[in-house]
Amino acid sequence: MILYLPFLLAFAIGSLLFQWIKRPSLQINASLNAMLSMALGLGLCATLTYASLFVFGGFHRTGILGLHVGLLIILLIPNLKPFIQNLRSIKWTMSWLSPLAWLAWGLVAYVIHFMALTHPYGEWDAWALYNMKTKFMIAAGPQWQSIFNDLHWYTQPDYPLLLPSINVFHHAISGQDIPAVPMSTSIVLALMIGWLLFAAIREITGTIVAFAGSLVLMVNPFYIFQSTAQYADTLLGYYLLASIVCIHLTFLKHSKPMALISGLMLGYMTFSKNEGIVMSILLIIMFGLYTFTRRLPLVRKRQALSLIGCLLIGYLLTSSPTIILKLFIAPKNKDIFGGLSAVHMKFLNWDGFMLIVNAFKYELTHKRWAFIWGFLAFLFVAANRKIVYKECKIYLTFFVLYMTVLCFIYLTTVNFELSWRLKSTVHRICYYLLPSLLFFCYYALFRKKLDDRISS
């Protein structure tokens, strides 16, 4: 139980913060409320822990505990009354499906836990990069910043540190060590992604569809394997899904607080992995372009444009650790665009492009995915023209643009063999995009129906 205490603390902090930002008038279902609170709280606790390493000159358990308990008290004072009122107003409706759903989720949680125990140290990058850096952050004292300056470049010194920071926070609160800390983090994140997907789909359509949609992902054996591999991909997938869900809520509710929360989620995404920076920038551009080009009456247009400001404020707040890390602390990245200094890019040609296409073709049809990509293709076809309905355009363009950027990054590979790079990364890209793609397909399928329901 002690292993999951840090997540309860993060959830409590996140709930209060979510309550504080979100107005009472903004109604969303209780499960989505809880899942977004968790995402917000986890990101905040990790960022605070990361900042504490600079403030205290290294890991300081009492300091970290004090900071979080202090924050909890600060958030409790103005929020306690509305929080209790909000808790009372939540209507927990039990249907015949509820016990069945909890039974299924319980089974899935057991299987995820079991699979995590079969590789407790995680897979390659997990122990070699993230868990190794966690060890430095916990045990190196003031020398913890060696991870940026002194470690070999194979350890990717420029990588953002959200996952190690979550693990350090976990260690500070629970007192547990590696491998228990990263293993429990991976289990929680694997469940959170599934539940967030359920809550988000439930916001646009019926509970049965939402439950089935989330379970399609949660029972996928390769999803479970990758989730328990302890990579930062899980965190990236989690915040990408949270960002997309928040952006969808922003448009659906025309809500400034939700735009701010979207920005906060996008900012956390930048601190999870380098790919998160690219994705957040693309999503912000898409968000801005869509808002600018929407045909709306002048008053509503002004309101819509103010959403961009709110989103950017949130983004600046939570992406500041990444900005500081990238500009002032970490060395330059050598993997992307050949470190921008390559003389000869031997894969920047048609053969290189075909190699990438074939690698994705191979991955998407691989039997380890248990036909989930075929199912996704079915949803895509079923959605038909709805795939470009209203804000669906943002997500579709985002996915296309992101794949284009990835393709360009692959083509400009200089430090490794492209085939080796593809072999070690394509399945991970598919993995972190999968929850968001599933949500996008369900969203496209039911978004128009939601409008029809509102107008009738």
Partner 1 sequence: MNNLVKKCLSLECLIAVTSLAMIGLTSFYLLANYMVKSRQPDTPIYEPGTQFATFKEKLKDVNAIGYLTNKDMSEEKNDGTFLQAQYMLAPTVLELNETHPNLNILDYTSPVYTVFTMRSLRSKPIASSPYGPVLAEKQP
Q: Do 317 and 267 form a contact (C-beta atoms < 8 A)? A: yes
**Is 378 an interacting residue with respect to partner 1 (CB under 8 A)?**
yes
Residues 136-155 that bind partner 1 (CB under 8 A): 136, 139-140, 143-144, 146, 150-152, 154-155
Angle of helix 372-383 relative to helix 207-218, nearest 10 degrees?
Answer: 150
Span from 114-122, 169-177, 253-261, 282-290 in contact with partner 1 (CB under 8 A): 114-122
Span from 93-101, 186-194, 311-319, 412-420 in contact with partner 1 (CB under 8 A): 412-420
CB 397, min distance to partner 1, A: 24
Angle of helix 30-55 relative to helix 298-324, nearest 10 degrees?
Answer: 40
Residue 292 or 420: the one with the smaller Cβ distance to partner 1 is 420
Cα–Cα distance between 92 and 115 in angstroms, integer? 32
CB 184, min distance to partner 1, A: 17
Cα-based angle 300, 304, 288 (whole degrees, multiple of 5): 145
Number of residues that bind partner 1 (CB under 8 A): 52
Residue 129 or 277: the one with the smaller Cβ distance to partner 1 is 129
The closest of 445, 382, 432 to 403, measured between CA atoms, is 432
Cα–Cα distance between 272 and 129 in angstroms, integer? 13
The residue within the footprint of partner 1, chosen from 2, 357, 381, 382 (CB under 8 A), is 382
Residue type, 393: K
**Is 176 an interacting residue with respect to partner 1 (CB under 8 A)?**
no
How big, in percent rounded to 5, are the helix, strand and coil portions of the chain? 80, 0, 20
**Is 180 an interacting residue with respect to partner 1 (CB under 8 A)?**
no
**Is 216 an interacting residue with respect to partner 1 (CB under 8 A)?**
yes
Span from 211-219, 236-244, 344-352, 398-406 in contact with partner 1 (CB under 8 A): 211-219
The residue within the footprint of partner 1, chosen from 305, 313, 348, 370 (CB under 8 A), is 370
314: helix, strand or coil: helix
Write the CA distances from 21 to 14, 247, 311, 358, 412, integer angstroms.
Answer: 10, 15, 13, 46, 42
Residue 292 or 371: the one with the smaller Cβ distance to partner 1 is 371
Give one word for 333, left, alpha or beta, with left for phi > 0 and alpha for psi -120 to 50. Answer: beta
Binding residues for partner 1 (CB under 8 A): 111, 114-115, 118-121, 124, 127-128, 131-132, 135-136, 139-140, 143-144, 146, 150-152, 154-155, 179, 205-206, 208-209, 212-213, 215-216, 219-221, 224, 370-372, 375, 378-379, 382, 415-417, 420, 442, 445-446, 449
